[in-house]
């Protein structure tokens, strides 16, 4: 394999962007027509918060499923418009300079830059130009029926322990040498992703990942928001 067959895998939330799916879901809920509908969708978003709190350091897939219930019955074209507004008004200001510097260095080192996000494709494709160095973007996708969001996510749902399995399949498909590749992430469910590469790094890690990183003697980076 040549030097070009390596990759740098970045978990967007916490590493590249100081925001997550709960903030996006709350924004979407606030744009619903009618007070009753807004309250209902805010309630669904609020329900996801303790799920992230209790399970988020182990498997965030369930929290992601609940958070995205707030998108239910929004038309596909409306999701696109709201996603554009969210990126422009809020998310582009949440991009971390420290994360951009990490990507810039990884790009200079010849790695393929792969960003993995719990966010939906409509939002993440909008913020992608602000991340500058991305070669591939992997994120969640909303299910639509009759051009309306069902509130469900298409499989596979990004955020759970499937990250390690997905990474190995990606490496096989693109002939990536994982032993010479790097990964940056900050959540417990990213353990399998990080342990699959030769150079893992925990960035602003939660309790679970911090403990595991110390035990495995992985480097830990702390960035200011």
Q: What's the burial of 17, exposed, middle or buried (CB within 10 Å: 0-12/13-18/19+)?
A: buried
192 occurs within a structural domain: yes
For the chain, first and last CA: distance in Å? 37
145: domain CATH number is 3.40.50.1000
Q: What is the pLDDT of residues 148-172, one digit of tens each?
A: 999 999 988 887 767 677 888 899 9
- Confirm whether 2 is domain-assigned: no
Q: What's the total number of domains in the chain?
A: 1
Residue 77 within a domain: yes
For residue 194, being part of any structural domain is answered with yes
Q: What is the mean pLDDT of residues 182-204?
A: 92
Q: Which domain holds residue 52?
A: 7-221
Residue 45 CA to residue 30 CA, distance in Å, equals 11
Sign of the dihedral defined by the CA atoms of residues 98, 133, 14, 106, in that order: negative
Percent of the chain with pLDDT over 70: 84
Full-model pTM = 0.87
User: Using one digit for the tens of pLDDT, what is the confidence trace for 56-105?
Assistant: 555 677 778 888 888 888 999 999 999 999 999 999 999 999 999 999 99
Residue 1 within any structural domain of the chain: no
């Amino acid at each position: 394999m040549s030097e070009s067959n390596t990759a740098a895998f970045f978990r967007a939330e916490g590493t590249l962007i100081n925001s997550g799916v709960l903030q996006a879901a709350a924004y979407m809920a606030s744009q619903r027509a009618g007070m009753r509908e807004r309250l209902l969708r805010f309630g669904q978003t609020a329900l996801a918060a303790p799920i992230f709190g209790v399970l988020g350091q182990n498997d965030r897939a369930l929290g992601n499923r609940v958070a995205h219930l707030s998108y239910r019955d929004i038309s596909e074209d409306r999701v696109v418009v709201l996603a554009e507004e969210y990126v422009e008004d809020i998310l582009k200001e949440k991009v971390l300079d420290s994360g951009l510097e990490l990507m810039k260095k990884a790009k200079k080192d010849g790695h393929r830059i792969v960003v993995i996000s719990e966010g939906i494709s409509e939002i993440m494709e909008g913020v992608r130009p602000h991340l500058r160095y991305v070669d591939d973007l992997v994120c969640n996708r909303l299910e639509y029926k009759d051009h309306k969001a069902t509130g469900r996510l298409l499989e596979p749902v990004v955020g759970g322990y499937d990250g390690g399995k997905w990474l190995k399949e990606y490496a096989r498909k693109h002939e990536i040498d994982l032993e010479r590749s790097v990964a940056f992430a900050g959540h417990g469910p990213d353990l399998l992703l990080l342990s699959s590469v030769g150079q893992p790094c925990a960035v602003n890690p939660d309790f679970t990942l911090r403990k595991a990183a110390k035990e495995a003697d992985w480097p830990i980076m702390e960035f200011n928001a």
